[in-house]
């Protein structure tokens, strides 16, 4: 397993991190907690020691599962435990809330659910335009000084927001979306982070499973699965993205004797400025291809071919904007 260093995290982190959004169940058609725990244990066996979670994933359920898995496994000191804060629950909806009060309350709940007395990397899940970034930064800096969190990170932040934030508190990491289909970060966030010594934990390497190679026209998304409303999974775009996946898979097998999943994750890892690629899974067998990702790199010719496949197949591309939570409504704003 390739490793990297994250500021203020005392142990090296694996360059592939386990994303646990689906383990929360909500928006993913439910989850099997026992299978999730086995998946976390399998990841640790494979050398994946960075586990990324958040209260927003199943309204705390993902954190509970992660906490259980680490407690049962032991060796907490060998795990880079990353979670987030800054989203306020109202009913079954989440709203951005980066106030000091919200973050101080959230971190205490996360510590309990995760069964730990410190969090290795605590990240602001989404920027809150209604709260000064300096207030959010000061809250996390105070938590760091108290020893409740070790490193401070941000997620989905713009460069301007990060510059304001780090005028108050050090930013160890940023977490933007990045995959073969969602590439905005490669033009701005990644170069800025590379130039400023900020590690990146890029999320969505498999684009909600689309780049796993396991999804086709017959795949059914059940219950509250967010892919039922994801624009990439709706006609006519869905057919275009599936054509791209098939073309990438043919190329990966012909050139590297690997599947599209390995190609997709390697593409992320090879990007200058990328520290960690987050790989979402909730069953142990979904991690089986991890060995196909390690020990090789893409050359310029391969990258050019990949770009040609994408340009030829995806005529109506769309980003991940649909996932962004809204700002707090007026009633909530006055209460904060």
The residues annotated as belonging to the active site are 57
In whole angstroms, give the CA distance from residue 272 to residue 275.
9
- Write out the H or E segment, with its range, that includes residue 152: strand 149-155
DSSP assignment of 11-71 equals S-EESEEEE-TGGG-TTTT---HHHHHHHHHHHHHTT--EEE--TTTTTTHHHHHHHHHHH
Burial status of residue 326 (CB atoms within 10 A of its CB: 0-12, 13-18, 19 or more): exposed
DSSP label of 286: G
φ, ψ dihedrals at 95, nearest 5°: -130, 150
**CB atoms closer than 10 angstroms to residue 321:** 10
Dihedral angle, C-alpha 187, 190, 193, 198, nearest 10 ° = 170
Residue 139 in contact with residue 105, Cβ under 8 Å? no
Find the DSSP H helices in the chain.
33-45, 61-73, 100-114, 133-145, 159-166, 189-195, 237-256, 260-269, 290-293, 300-313, 330-335
């Amino acid at each position: 397993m390739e490793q990297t260093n994250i500021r203020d995290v005392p142990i090296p982190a694996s360059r592939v991190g386990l994303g646990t959004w689906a383990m929360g169940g909500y928006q993913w058609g439910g989850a099997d907690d026992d299978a999730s725990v086995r998946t976390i244990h399998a990841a640790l066996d494979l050398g994946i020691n960075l586990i990324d979670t958040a209260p927003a994933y199943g309204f705390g359920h993902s954190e509970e599962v992660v906490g259980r898995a680490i407690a049962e496994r032991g060796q907490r000191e060998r795990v880079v435990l990353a979670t987030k804060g800054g989203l306020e629950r109202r009913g079954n909806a989440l709203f951005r809330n980066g106030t000091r009060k919200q973050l101080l309350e959230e971190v205490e709940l996360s510590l309990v659910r995760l069964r730990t007395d410190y969090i290795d990397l605590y990240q602001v899940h989404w920027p809150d335009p209604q709260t000064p970034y300096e207030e959010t930064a000061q809250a996390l800096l105070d938590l760091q000084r108290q020893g409740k969190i070790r490193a401070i990170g941000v997620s989905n932040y713009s460069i301007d927001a990060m510059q304001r934030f780090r005028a108050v508190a050090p930013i160890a990491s940023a977490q933007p979306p990045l995959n073969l289909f969602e590439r905005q970060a490669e033009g701005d966030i990644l170069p800025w982070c590379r130039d400023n010594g900020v590690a990146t934990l890029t999320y969505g390497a498999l684009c909600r499973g689309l780049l796993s190679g396991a999804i086709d026209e017959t795949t059914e998304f059940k219950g509250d699965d967010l892919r039922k409303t994801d624009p990439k999974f709706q006609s006519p775009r869905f057919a275009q993205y599936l054509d791209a996946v098939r073309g990438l898979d043919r190329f990966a097998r012909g050139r590297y004797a690997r599947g599209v999943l390995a190609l997709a994750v390697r593409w992320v890892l090879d990007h200058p400025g990328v520290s960690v690629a987050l790989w979402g899974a909730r069953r142990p067998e979904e991690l089986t291809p991890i060995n196909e990702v390690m020990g090789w790199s893409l050359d310029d010719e391969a990258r050019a071919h990949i770009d040609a496949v994408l340009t030829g197949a995806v005529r109506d591309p769309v980003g991940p904007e649909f996932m962004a939570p809204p700002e707090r409504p007026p009633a909530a704003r006055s209460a904060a």
